[in-house]
Structure formats: C-alpha cells, structure tokens
Structure 1
Amino acid sequence: MADQDSNAPLATLSAMPTLEQMQQWTNTLGRAQQLVLEHAANLATRTDTPPAPAITPELLFEPETFARVQADFAKDSLALWERFAEAAGQPAPAPEGSVAGRKDRRFADPQWQSHPFFDMMRQSYLLVSDYLLRLTDTVDGVDPKHKQQLRFAMQGVVDALSPSNFPITNPQVIQKTIETNGENLVSGLRHMLADMDKGQLTHTDGSAFTVGVNLAATPGKVVYETPLYQLIQYEPTTKKVLETPLIIFPPWINRFYILDLAPHKSFVKWAVDQGLTVFMVSWKSADASMKDLVWDDYILRGLIDAIDRVRELLDVESVHSIGYCVAGTTLAATLALLAARGEADKVRSATFFTAQVDFREAGDLGMLIDDEVLKLVDQLSAPGYLDGRYMAATFNMLRGRDLIWNYVVDNYLLGKDYAPFDLLYWNGDTTNLPARWHRAYLTDLYRDNLLATPGGVQIDGTPIELHRVKTPSYVQAGREDHIAPPKSVWKITEHFTGPLRFVLAGSGHIAGVINPPGSGKYQYWTADKAAVSLEEFTRIARETPGSWWPDWIDWIQDFTDPKVPAKHARRPGKGSMPAIEDAPGRYVKSR
C-alpha cells in the first residue's frame, strides 16, 4: 500500500473544499481572468506577431527496422501494464536499464514514482517518447540532413508533451496549487504574460543586474568609436605590463560582457591582473542603418581597423588577439587576409574560443539551415536587421528541455520567482544582426562551407586561403558544446599551418570558456605531441583539473615579451586617443 504522503495530491483533491477555500478560489480565478483580459486589450493594438516555421518531411520507413521498433514497443508496453496489474495498482519499479527506469530530472520528485497514477504516467510517457524517437530513426528515402531535422523536430514534440509540463499531470504543480489556493498559477500567468509582451522567455531576475555596475564593471575607458564598434581600453593593475597588448573580439551575436561578468568571473579582469594591456571591441547592435553591412565590413572596418588603432596608440608592431565564436571565425578570415597582403606580422598570436572555420560537422545549428529556414530569416529581417530575440529563441530550441520547459514548469506552473543569475541575464540580453551579413553567414559558411574551400571566400577582392595562416594559435573547444561541437572546432588544426596548441575544456559553449581559476570547476585536456584527429587527441591527452586560463597565460608568456611601465598610453585616455566615456560605453547598452 502506498504511503499517505505519496497520495496527498489526489487525496486532497477529493476532499470537499471549505467555504473559505471556495471564496479564495473564486478570488484567484477572478484575478487570473483580469490578467488575461488586460493582456488581450494590450494585444489588440499590436501587429508584430511573427510567423512560425514548420518542418513537414514525408515519412518513408525502412521496413525491417520499423518492424523491430514496433515489436519492441508492443513488448515493452505489455510488460509495463503487467507490472502494474501484478502490483494491483501499486507502484512497480521499472527494470533497471529499461527506458522507464532511466534517471530523468524532470521526474525527480518522489511522487512521480511513489504514486501509482503518476508513476504509470511517467513510465508510459518515457516508453512512448522513446518509441517515437526510434521510429523517426527508421525513416528512409530522405537525405541525412532531413533525417536530422525530423529527429530534432520529434525531440521537440516529445519534450513539449512531457506530463511534467502540464498542471493537471504534474504532482508538484497539483500540490502547490492546493497549498496556495491557486496563487502559483496566478503568479505563473503574470510571468507568462510579461514574457509574451516582451517576446522572449525570461530565465532570471533582470532587476538584480546593471551593466556597468555589477556586470561589465572592470575599470576602463572607451578610447575610440566608429558606427560599427567602440574600442575599450582597461586600466592596468600592475606596475609593468607585457609590451604586446591583447585585443579581444567578442561575437556580435551577443554582448561582450560574457567575458566581463562579476569580478570573480571576469576573464577581462583576470587578464589585466596577469599584466596584459587589454582592449575590448564592443560591437553596435544592428539597426536599419546597418542593413547593408557584410563580412568585409566586420573584417576591414572592425578587426583590422581595431588592430591598427591599437598598434598606433601603443607604438607596437603586433598584438595578441582573441576571437570568440563567430568573431573567432572572422579572426581566422582576417589572419588569412593579412597573410595574403604580406601583413601577417600585425598579429603575434591568435586565440580561438569555441570557433569554427570548417562547417562540415557544425552540429544542430548547421542541421537547421535549409532553403525554408533561409526564407523565414529573410521575412524576419525585413527591417534590414534580424531582431536578436529570434536568435535567442533558436539557441533555446537547441536545448529546449533545459532552456524552455524547465522554466515553463518552474516559473509558469509553480509560480516561482526568478533567481538572479548573471550568465542567464547575459543570455537574454540580445543584440540585432545586420540582414545581409547574417544571410551570407548562414549560406556561405553554414550551408556551403566556402571558408574551408581555398578561394571560396573573397574579402575586399582578395581570395581567402586558410592554409596560409601561420600565426601561432591557441584553439579552445568545449567538450559538451552543442553550438560549436569540438569535432568542428578541431578542424582549425587541419587548415592552419603554423604552430598550434589545442585545448579541450570541460563543459560547453559558455561555461567551458568562463571558468576562472578560483571556481574549482571542470577540467581541461592537453597533449604533448601532435594528433591527427580529435579521437587521437582524446586518447593521448592529459587531464588537468580546474580552469584552462593559467595554461593560456603560460602560452602567452612563452612569447618572451619584454615588460614596459604601465603609464602614458598604457593608461586609458592618456595617449593619443583621449577617453570618450567610461567603460563599458554606450554601445553595449543600446537596444
């Protein structure tokens, strides 16, 4: 017999409510209705609802595999019902190793297993979802990319249909609703309507953060700006600094302060404290005036312009450089262009954070790019730029269970308040993308992989050939990165021909990069000899606990730069470029 606590939701539901409870429920429903009516009234004047994409490939199944999946499903379904029948309606644990016996944090609450009704629902859902995904894998007669798309779409469907996502089939929500007389649903409705108004799912309490106060707060000055970017120079914290300065190029898909979060997490502050003169490029979020910008603009009037400005300001021959994600891809193209022009010496070293140059194995994002998606992108970019909220929604879809449904349950159904989390605040602080650049990036790189083809891309009329890049390079990849998979990042080593150090970091696209030494998290892998593939690298690599940042600074210091006093032009605004404004500047705050 199940214990009393496990039956609490259903037992409580069957009890007759008191007059006071009925009055409370009436009040709760009334306030919920009022919220919906007010929101509907506000929507009446709005016309900015975007169309939704659809993926509807024809289904043709490989007969033998289809039959085997059907037979397995029938056998497992019968076994599930037999377990419950034999237990006379009491909970029956699923066999270890079975689909229904696997651990799944969506069903971590004990009532999912201790209560017969919810246990049956959980096990049935897991069985059916596994069946649907396996059935998708039997689809035949379509190319591999369409098969990937179909599985991705099916994964989204089964994640959305989880019983944990619905108030009447989630024991936690039922219990919370009874305990609060429905207040959780009113709070959740308020959260949902607020998200509908701003067109974006909320992940964290935004009121807890202010850019320039407790984010992007490393002291510095904006010393140069163009219509495309601002150049920030940070205040040195050491009496002497390495002669060769560092320029960081963040992705313009996101705000630069992912590298300058709270002081104890800030890569910028840490790099300054290591005795580097650090500059940061802060890109302007696109508006209609930037509709004609292309990759040439970001390379010529962005990266190369910033490199030349810093060289001139500090009177140095070269700079160290970092490119993160799409800015790393752009840095690779920039190095190839400089090599073709005989100007490779302008960059003494290049560091790549989770960057791709060869998109043959670009992961789920590459899988999503096809003609229908490109048509949708064109429609959404009609003003001359793509609203960053669409890009954020795309990245959320790639990890829908964690970045969508987890928040639907916690914040919409359970009515929980949002917890403050700086990384998630940054994740929701979107930027807009120039329409022409974005379209070309998706077609030329993700779809057609032209950068990996010698001469496939031209910058300012010069064909780009990655094998001409001999700049010493440090390449970092995230072991669990779903945006720039390590197999894809590794391919840099197959194109560049200069000295190169490859480092595989624990975690993914963000946490794998933002892992300060003091955190004590994750690990990284390095190899003392060259490997011909990522598989060989992982076999011979040595694991080191903690942050890879110290490994990187050791690599930078191996260039044996002399040290110079941290004065005059080494201090923001004291050289030939007067300070325009305090860091982090206006561009990072523009919407």
Structure 2
Amino acid sequence: MLPHPERLASGWLGIPYREHHPLDDGTKDLDRILMAAVGRLTGGISPIALWMAYIDWVTHLQLSPSKQHELLIDGWQKMAKWQGYAYDAMRHTGTTMEPCVAPLPQDKRFADPAWQQWPFNVMYQGFLMSQQWWHRATTGISGVSKHHEDVVTFTARQLLDMLSPSNFASKNPVVINEAIRSQGQNFIRGAANAASDWLHDLASKPHDHAFKVGETLAATPGKVIFRNRLIELIQYAPTSSTVHTTPVLIVPAWIMKFYILDLSPHNSLARYLVEQGHSVFMISWKNPDAVDRDLTMDDYRTLGIMDAVEAICKATQSPALHAVGYCLGGTLLSIAAATMARDGDHRLASMTLFASQVDFKEPGELSLFIDESQVALLEALMWEQGYLDSRQMAGAFQMLRSNDLIWSRRLNHYLLGLPEKVTDLMAWNMDTTRMPYRMHIQYLRDLFLHNDLAEGRYSVNGQPIALSDIRVPVFSVGTITDHVAPWRSTYKIHLLTDTEVTYCLTSGGHNAGVVSPPSHPNRQYQISRHMPTDPYINPEDWHRTTPSQEGSWWPAWESWLSSQSPKRQTPPSMPPGMCDAPGTYVFQR
C-alpha cells in the first residue's frame, strides 16, 4: 500500500503530519478566509447559490418555447386588462372600482380605502398583476430543480416587494394624506425614529421599552438550582397546595432566550403550569461566544438535557420526568429521548414537542438558505468568528416575512412617523443570541442537508439512534402558519415513532401559536390521538376531518400532561439555589 501523499510530504519537507477533521482542516483556511470575506459583503447570503439557481431557471426557460409563449400571451392579456382598468378608473374617478386582482389574504399593504381611489388603484393593481406574472414566470418550468425554483421565486418576490408602491411616499395615499394632515410632521417624526434606530444599532444595545427581564418578563418566581458552562436550570416555586408527583422539564431553543415560555404573567407558560400544580423546571442556555466555538450538538445534549435530567431527578427524588421541547430544543430532546431509549434509560415519562421538526425533508422556507454553497459560506463566517452572529440569523428570518418585518415597519415607523408599539413578544425577539460554530454546522449538515435523524444515520457515542425506539407517549404541537417548522413537517412524527402520539394543530405562527394562553381571543385548534395500531392518516385528510375547537390549546395539553401523572403530593421544599430566577445567563449579551 502506498503511503498517504501528505505523509510523503511530511517526510520530504519535515512538516509534521496530522489527521484532519472535516471542520478542522487547516489546508482550507485560505478558502474560508476568502469565503468569509464574501459572506460579510453579502450579509451571509451565498451569491454562488443565487447564481446557480438563476442559471438553472434561465437556461431551462430558454429551452421551453411553450412556456415562453404562455408567458408572452399572459403578459399581453394582463397589460390589456390593466389598461382597460386604468381607463375605466380615470373615467369613474371618485367611485370604487372592482379590482382585477385581489391581494392575498395575508397581504395588508393595500387594505386602506385610500388605495381604491384614482390613481392609486391603478398603481397597486398594476403591481399585483406584475407579481402574478413573475410568479408564473418562475414556476412550472420543466427541468428546474425544486430548490432552485423556490430560490428564484423567493428572490423575485423580494425584489418586487422592494418596488411596491406602498413603500414610496409619493405613491402611497396613506402617507400623502398623513403628510397633508400633519403638515409634514410625520416625516420629522420618522427621521427621529430612524436616527434613534441607527444610534441603538451603532451602540449594539437593546431598544428601550417597558419590558424588562426579571421584572415584567421572565418574572415567575423561582431559583437557579444547577449551573454548568452551558445551562442554568431554573426551578419555579410552587403556588398550589399539592403538585403532580412527576416534574416537568422545559427545553427551549437556544436560538433565542428561554423566556418566550415565561413572558408577561398573563401569557407565561411556566406560570400557567405552576398554577395548575406542576413542578416546573426550565433550561436557560448560555449565550455562546468565540470561546465556545467547539461546542457540539452532543455537548448540548449532555450538558443541556442530560445534566438537567440528572439534577431534577436528584432534587425531586422522582424516577422520571415529563420533557417538553420547543423548536430546536424539541429536536434536541428527540435525539436525547431516542438515545435514552436505546441505552435503557427510563427517566422520561412523556415527551412534548412544540413546533419541532425531526424530519427535515420539508423544512419550509428556511430551506431557501440551506444548500451546500450556503452552508459552506456560513461555515466560513462562523469559523472566522467562532459563532453565527444574531444579526446574520435575524436577516434570514426577516426576509422570510419581509412585508411584515421590513416594509410594513419602514412604512409605519419612518414614513408615517408612528411610534413603535413594542409587545412582550417583540421585546423577546430583540433579545438575540449567537450559535457556536461547530454545533451549528453539525445541525445544518447532519439534520437540514442530510436528514440523518429521520433516516437513521444520526449517531450518538458512535452508534446510530432511531426515533422508533421512543416508547413514551408523545404530544406534538404544530402551528398552522409556521414558516420555520411547517406543520406538515412536524406531523411526520406519526411516521417516525412507534408510540402513542397526540397531535395538536393550532392557529398562529411559530411563536404566537405556541404562546397561546387561555385568555387569548380568536384561537382555534384541532387535536386527536393516534395509537401505534391505528392506520396512518395523511396530514391533508387529518386536517379536513379533525374537528376544530375554539380557544387555547394549553388546557388540552395540560389535561393530557396531568393524565400522565395523576398522583399528587405536597410540594417539596424549594432549595436555597444559586440565585433567583431568571438567573444570570439570560442577561448575557
């Protein structure tokens, strides 16, 4: 057998030879430096990925004369229809015209009655027709990969949204009317808002608002009873005369701070569970920095979930606990549960997943930012920094909902000069975190790109794990408008486990759908239980046939949780703890 070429080189040149880990290959340092420089210029978006998608689309479009003919005819028809509408609108100025195109239900840009007056009705109708044409131009072309089609369609939508007449003061009747009414004061207020935002961004400080962590947010009384280099474990103080004997561990995502599940007192899930007689423990993750660059997914499992399980069972003398995971925390919890099942660890009594994916074949619009080129660029950025910066993550999420998070805010805050009304959920969303280099690359490659967990290739301690080994009852929650973990993706838990699954689909999105206290109005949910011996029902049939119920899903889940632990006892005494909740890690910037 011939020696490895690098071994020969080490002998000839006197260079010490070492085996290379894929993430630590020193020969790629120059590549990463160059790619990181590109990433800084492009805001973390791979221009190569965009170019490949464009080439795939444009070349296949050139090879599709029938599609070109279809688009040409459609363009002429839309132009003629729009011209006819413009002519009638000019003739009937002051009357409301029947629109040629109705905005999508979620598109609120043209909802104000002022848009129905000439010439603004002509402007926005022409814009919506253009949007329709471009959607047709970027979809349904034979030969284009689904991923590239999605990227091109998304990019076209982003570019068109930038050009929407609602974004320009001279074309937006709402802005014009406000400028007339206030004698231009809206622009002065908007300039002050812009300056304030710029100064806060420059100082890298959170905005001032009425919500303060430990006072109005994350204010449920409790103690930090355990701490290691990655987590603080909070035990909340009981408020009822008796509590369920089996404690509850909540594993939030570490993409953001834990207190989305302990917001204001009226919509705190932690407080709600305590009031219902549960002994509740919450993980608060450290906000990692460059020193933590080499933390792995398995470090998050062991230092996070497993250390918390050990601490809770020791503190409560309970042989088992109910584990709850939210978003990425639910994915990690599923990995931990499958590992525990494989290794004969029976300390889980049940598992609950909030908007959590275990199969990443259909991860929703986030997949637009996940391919080999994009991951390589992110890897280079994180390798250089030691972590993924919160701004780089925030940019991707804002682009997914650009109308709500970028353009609508720009209109209200800068053009109309309105003060920003910060809610507790918005305050939490401003409190961003980082992601350590090695962990996030493993997450993107092993789960998003390769789907190793769902397909049985994900290894823990050198041995693969299988979600089908999980035998404890599972409660899974999906949210109907989730753009991070689409509900049809979370529904796949039925296919991947061999246990009792109670599935609940609730109104709202990834965050607002989960933060759904009983006092919240206009909420609905669907729920059903599936036993291992029951035949599989596909998500569309399940959604169509499962009755809808009014109200919050929290009481339904709490009832299920209580049924898994029917015995009650006197609350155990609270330990002195290391400090009061919400601890110290939550304040890390």
Per the TM superposition, whether the score is higher than 0.5 is yes
Q: Deviations over 1:320-359 (max 9, x none)?
A: 110000010000000111111111x111011000110111
Distance 1:140 1:197 in 2: 49
Shift of 1:193: 4.0
Distance 2:237 2:455 in 1: 41
Distance 1:528 1:451 in 2: 24
Residue 353 of structure 2 is matched in structure 1 by: 352
Q: Is the 8 A contact 1:335 1:471 kept in 2?
A: no
Equivalenced residues, count: 531
Residue 111 of structure 2 is matched in structure 1 by: 108
Identity %: 36
Q: Is the 8 A contact 2:256 2:432 kept in 1?
A: yes
Task: Give the secondary structure class of the aligned counterpart of 2:153.
Answer: helix
Q: Is the 8 A contact 2:342 2:469 kept in 1?
A: yes
Distance 2:378 2:196 in 1: 25
Residue 84 of structure 1 is matched in structure 2 by: 86
Shift of 1:86: 4.4
Q: Is the 8 A contact 1:352 1:476 kept in 2?
A: yes
Q: Is the 8 A contact 1:359 1:366 kept in 2?
A: no
Indicate the larger mover: 49-58 or 456-465.
49-58
Q: Which runs of 5+ in 2 are unaligned?
A: 1-38
Q: How do residues 543-582 of structure 1 correspond to structure 2 at under 5 angstroms?
A: 543-568=548-573, 571=574, 573=575, 578-582=576-580
Residue 290 of structure 2 is matched in structure 1 by: 288
2:342 to 340, 343, 347: 340
Residue 496 of structure 2 is matched in structure 1 by: 495
Residue 418 of structure 2 is matched in structure 1 by: 416
Distance 1:177 1:205 in 2: 27
Indicate the larger mover: 435-444 or 278-287.
435-444
Distance 1:281 1:87 in 2: 59
- Give the partner amino acid of 1:176: E
Q: Is the 8 A contact 1:505 1:523 kept in 2?
A: yes
Shift of 1:181: 4.2
- Give the partner amino acid of 1:397: M
TM-score (structure 2 length as normaliser)? 0.86
Q: Deviations over 1:208-248 (max 9, x none)?
A: 11001111110111111111010000010011111110000
1:385 to 384, 387, 391: 387
TM-score (structure 1 length as normaliser)? 0.86
Q: Is the 8 A contact 1:94 1:100 kept in 2?
A: no
Q: How do residues 17-416 of structure 1 correspond to structure 2 at under 5 angstroms?
A: 51-52=42-43, 53=45, 54=47, 55-56=50-51, 57-58=54-55, 59=58, 60-61=60-61, 62-86=64-88, 88-91=90-93, 95=98, 98-99=100-101, 104-114=107-117, 116-199=118-201, 206-343=208-345, 345-381=346-382, 382-416=384-418
Shift of 1:528: 5.3
88 and 399 in structure 1: CA distance in 2 versus 1, 3 angstrom threshold: closer
Distance 2:518 2:180 in 1: 46
Shift of 1:373: 1.7
Q: Deviations over 1:532-559 (max 9, x none)?
A: 3212322331211101111111111222
Shift of 1:467: 1.1
Q: Is the 8 A contact 1:295 1:437 kept in 2?
A: yes
Q: Deviations over 1:500-531 (max 9, x none)?
A: 11111111211211111122331111235544
Distance 2:433 2:162 in 1: 27
Q: Aligned Cα RMSD in Å?
A: 2.1
Q: Deviations over 1:243-297 (max 9, x none)?
A: 1100000000011111111111111100000100000000011111110011000
Distance 2:549 2:111 in 1: 32
556 and 102 in structure 1: CA distance in 2 versus 1, 3 angstrom threshold: closer
Shift of 1:424: 1.2
Q: Is the 8 A contact 1:165 1:405 kept in 2?
A: yes
Distance 1:364 1:269 in 2: 33
525 and 101 in structure 1: CA distance in 2 versus 1, 3 angstrom threshold: closer
Shift of 1:73: 2.2
Task: Give the secondary structure class of the aligned counterpart of 1:123.
Answer: helix
- Give the partner amino acid of 2:364: G
Task: Give the secondary structure class of the aligned counterpart of 1:332.
Answer: helix
Task: Give the secondary structure class of the aligned counterpart of 1:487.
Answer: helix
121 and 348 in structure 1: CA distance in 2 versus 1, 3 angstrom threshold: same
Distance 2:434 2:501 in 1: 34
